[in-house]
Amino acid sequence: MAETAAAPPKKEEPPITIKKYANRRLYNTATSTYVTLDHLAQMVKDGAEFVVYDAKTGEDITRQVLTHIIVEEEGKGQSLLPLSFLRHLISFYGDSLQTIVPRYLDFSMQSFARNQEQMRTYMGDALTGLMPFGRFEEMGKQNMVLFENAMKMFSPFFPGEVGRGPAARETPGEKPKTGGEDEIEDLRAKLERMQRQLDQLTGGKKE
C-alpha cells in the first residue's frame, strides 16, 4: 500500500504593509485602497498581521499607530485601561524596571488570551448571579508566579536570588557539590516547579 505523501507545510504569510502619508492617510498595499484607523482596528480583531511604515522616511511606525488606535477606542467610551493602570504604566517610563515591564505585560496578555474561553465562562457565571472575580485574581496570581520563575531562570540577579550560591543551599553533613552540579540541580528543580504550576493553571491536563 503506497504511503500518502505528507502535505508541505504552509508558508507563513508576510504581514500586510500599510503606508502612512504626510496627510495622515493610510494606504493598504495589499488591497490598493485607503483605510482608516477603524479598518486597522478590525484587522487586529480579525487576526490580520500588518506593519505600518512612514511613506516618506520608510520608518516603522506600527507601535505609534496601534497606540493611536487604543487612544481612539478609549475616546469612544470603550475603556479597557483603568486609571490606576495608566498611572502605573506612566511611572515606569525611565524607571530601572522599564525593560522588564514590556515582557511582563506581553506575558500576561498572552496568558489571558490563552484562557479567554475560560474567562468567558466565568463572565457567563457572573450574569447568572455568581461573582467570578476571585477566580480572575487567582489566575492572575498564578500567571505572576510563572513569570517570576521564568525571570529567575534567565536572570541571576532577580530579587531573592542574589547571594544564593552553592554554600547557601548546603545542609549539614551533605557532600559539597561542584558549581556545575549545583546549577544543574537548581535548574531541574525550577523546571519541575514551573511544570507543576503550569499543570495547576491548565487544570492538570497534559497534551
pLDDT tens-place values along the chain, 207 residues long:
455 555 555 567 899 999 999 888 999 999 999 999 999 999 999 999 999 999 999 999 999 999 999 999 888 877 888 889 889 889 989 888 888 888 888 888 888 777 777 766 766 666 555 555 555 566 666 666 666 665 555 454 444 444 444 444 445 555 555 555 666 677 677 667 766 766 665 555 444
Q: 137 with 196, same domain?
A: yes
Q: Is residue 111 a part of any domain in this protein?
A: yes
Proportion of the chain in helix, strand, coil states, percent, rounded to 5:
50, 10, 40
**Statement to judge: residues 104 and 196 lie in one domain:** yes
Shared domain check, 188 and 95 = yes
3-class DSSP state for residue 204? Answer: coil
Q: Do 120 and 20 lie in a common domain?
A: no
**Number of structural domains, the chain?**
2
Same domain, 30 and 124: no
- Whether the model clears a pTM of 0.95, i.e. scores above it, the answer is no
Domain of residue 124, residue span: 82-164+179-207
**C-alpha cell, 70:** 487604543
Position 172 in a domain: no
Give the C-alpha separation, 165 to 188, whole Å: 16
Residue 132 sits in the same domain as residue 67: no
Whether residue 59 is contained in a domain is answered as yes
